[in-house]
């Protein structure tokens, strides 16, 4: 079976601030069907559940800064006397200082010195207590958070779960950790998804019998994120459900339900299913990926290697934020998109795709999607941030697709065309070595109305240089919206032209 590809390249460019998608989905280059796999790997070929990808990828090494602050404390008191005796503040008297006065004069000096020592100490202690109370007041109660950063509501729920787990264990002295409680809270909302296809889809040209049943071609994971009176909604990866004739959803308690595909988005690799709610009473809580910090706890829950290991848990940390991973969606060897993802060292294996990445409170912070799998790389996995997941699933629920600004052109990267063709047939100047070739313009589209034609070479949008299709799509989808105008600079027959298109 022909399989799509995904790659990663070492790039620092092409990064822009993301924005909420709007507009209609563009009709871009015709995409090959993406086959089923249990986990997206960044490699030259997507493999089955028991295979590992081997494409080369860049690993980046980060050093840790170590700061050492030398602190020297100076307490009140006196220096020792030259004769080696201790000062009065240390409870001793100077030799010969008690002349004619007995012990009274020495005792008076000791009492005064002790007072001068204790008063600042007591004042400092009181000040520290006041500052501690103020800190707890403004950083705990006002924002509804406990000192460890978990909200009071989450903390209360976690304590209830700990009590339940302790009761189930039959040991009142058993200590239940925060991690255990977070996993128990989240795992009830994580499901397994089985992609079922007919034999004719799996093996082209094969004529299956009329009574044949769809067969399993891949498994993945999903997360129940919303409940209504009738349905439970599940988010997963697009590559988990792509090409499915039927979708089977296996709940944490073992129940098997039929899933209905509501919508998919190939660019963000997200899909939404719905199943009959029945007795389902748990939906995961959304966290906030925007507030995440490197080093925070990250827990991956899913079904690595299929249903046999459903509900498996791996724990790690957030290893990186706002990672940009160029990917090849249609398998033509060119990068079509740049995914913005979280990096984690929590183990992600084939079958974890579409599963949950949760924080220390059991709240969803990402959808596990990709990993780097090669002999020299260990512990580099990626998840789609939950803030983006929320935006995408809302549009998929409502429209069945993500609506984006539409220009109406088919594209080809300039660097894929031989230099002699660019110079001799397209009359492109020698100094123009990057851009995007318009291979086709659809009638009645914004590009057609603006007067663009085949073989035009786009070099900038709104004055921003465009070097390839990836940059063009990123700018169009994240910087523009429906109804906005787009200024396009392009070369035609060696001459530079500028037109303005109104996006649909």
Which residues are tagged catalytic?
239, 269, 353
- Provide the 10 A C-beta neighbour count for residue 496: 13
Count the alpha carbons within 13 Å of 111 in the hemisphere toward its beta carbon.
Answer: 6
Three-state SS string across 28-74, please? CCCCCCCCCCCCEECECCCCCCCCCCCCCCCCCCCCCCCCCCCCCCC
Cα-based angle 226, 228, 231 (whole degrees, multiple of 5):
85
Inter-helix orientation angle 152-169/178-187, to 10°: 90
How distant, in Å, are the alpha carbons of 104, 261, 341 from that of 89? 16, 81, 62
Of 163, 282, 167, 304, the residue nearest 226 (C-alpha): 282
Q: Which residues contact 384 (CB under 8 A, 6 or more apart)?
A: 268, 269, 270, 339, 341, 342, 366, 367, 369
Q: What is the DSSP track for 125-136?
A: HHHHHHHHHHHH
Q: Token pair of 294, please?
A: 């490197």
Q: What is the DSSP track for 345-411?
A: -S---TT-TT-EEE-TTS-EEEEEEEE--BTTB-S-EEEEEHHHHHHHHHHHHHHSS-------EEE
Count the alpha carbons within 13 Å of 496 in the hemisphere toward its beta carbon.
Answer: 7
Q: Token pair of 433, please?
A: 């070595």
């Amino acid at each position: 079976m022909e399989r799509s590809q995904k790659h990663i390249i070492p790039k620092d460019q092409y990064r822009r601030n993301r924005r909420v998608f709007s507009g209609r989905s563009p009709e871009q280059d015709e995409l090959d069907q993406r086959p089923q796999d249990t986990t997206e790997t960044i490699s030259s070929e997507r493999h089955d559940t028991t295979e590992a990808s081997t494409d080369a990828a860049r690993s980046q090494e980060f050093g840790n800064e170590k700061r050492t602050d030398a602190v020297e404390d100076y307490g009140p008191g006196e220096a020792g006397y030259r004769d080696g005796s201790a000062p009065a503040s240390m409870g001793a008297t100077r030799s010969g200082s008690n002349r004619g006065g007995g012990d009274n004069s020495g005792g008076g000096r000791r009492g005064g010195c002790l007072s001068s020592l204790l008063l600042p100490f007591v004042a400092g202690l009181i000040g520290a207590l006041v500052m501690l109370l103020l800190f707890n007041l403004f950083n705990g109660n006002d924002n509804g958070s406990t000192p460890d950063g978990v909200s009071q509501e989450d903390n209360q729920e976690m304590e209830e779960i700990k009590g339940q787990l302790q009761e189930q264990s039959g040991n009142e002295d058993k200590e239940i950790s925060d991690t255990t409680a977070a996993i128990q809270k989240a795992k009830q909302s994580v499901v397994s998804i089985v992609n079922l296809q007919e034999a004719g889809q799996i093996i082209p040209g094969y004529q299956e019998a009329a009574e044949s049943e769809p067969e399993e071609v891949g498994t993945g994971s999903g997360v129940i994120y919303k409940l209504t009176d009738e349905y439970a909604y599940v988010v997963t990866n697009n590559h988990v459900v792509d090409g499915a004739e039927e979708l089977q959803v296996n709940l944490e308690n073992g129940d098997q339900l039929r899933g209905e595909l509501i919508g998919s988005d190939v660019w963000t690799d997200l899909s939404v299913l719905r199943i009959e709610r029945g007795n389902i009473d748990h939906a995961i809580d959304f966290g906030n990926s925007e507030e995440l910090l490197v080093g925070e706890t990250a827990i991956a829950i899913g079904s690595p290697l299929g249903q046999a290991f459903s509900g498996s848990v791996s724990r790690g940390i957030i290893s990186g934020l706002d990672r940009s991973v160029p990917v090849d969606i249609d398998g033509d060897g060119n990068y079509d998109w740049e995914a913005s993802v979280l990096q984690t060292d929590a183990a992600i294996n084939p079958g974890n795709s579409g599963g949950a990445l949760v924080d220390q409170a059991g709240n969803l912070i990402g959808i596990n999607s990709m990993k780097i799998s090669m002999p020299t790389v260990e512990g580099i996995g990626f998840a789609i941030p939950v803030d983006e997941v929320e935006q995408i699933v809302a549009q998929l629920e409502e429209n069945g697709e993500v609506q984006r600004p539409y220009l109406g052109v088919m594209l080809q990267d300039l660097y894929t065309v031989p230099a002699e063709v660019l110079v001799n047939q397209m009359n492109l100047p020698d100094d123009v070595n990057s851009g995007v070739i318009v291979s086709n313009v659809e009638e009645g589209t914004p590009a057609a109305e603006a007067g663009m034609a085949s073989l035009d070479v786009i070099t900038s949008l709104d004055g921003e240089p465009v070097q390839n299709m990836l940059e063009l799509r990123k700018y169009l989808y994240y910087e523009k919206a429906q109804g906005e105008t787009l200024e396009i600079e392009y070369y035609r027959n060696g001459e530079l032209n500028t037109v303005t298109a109104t996006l649909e």
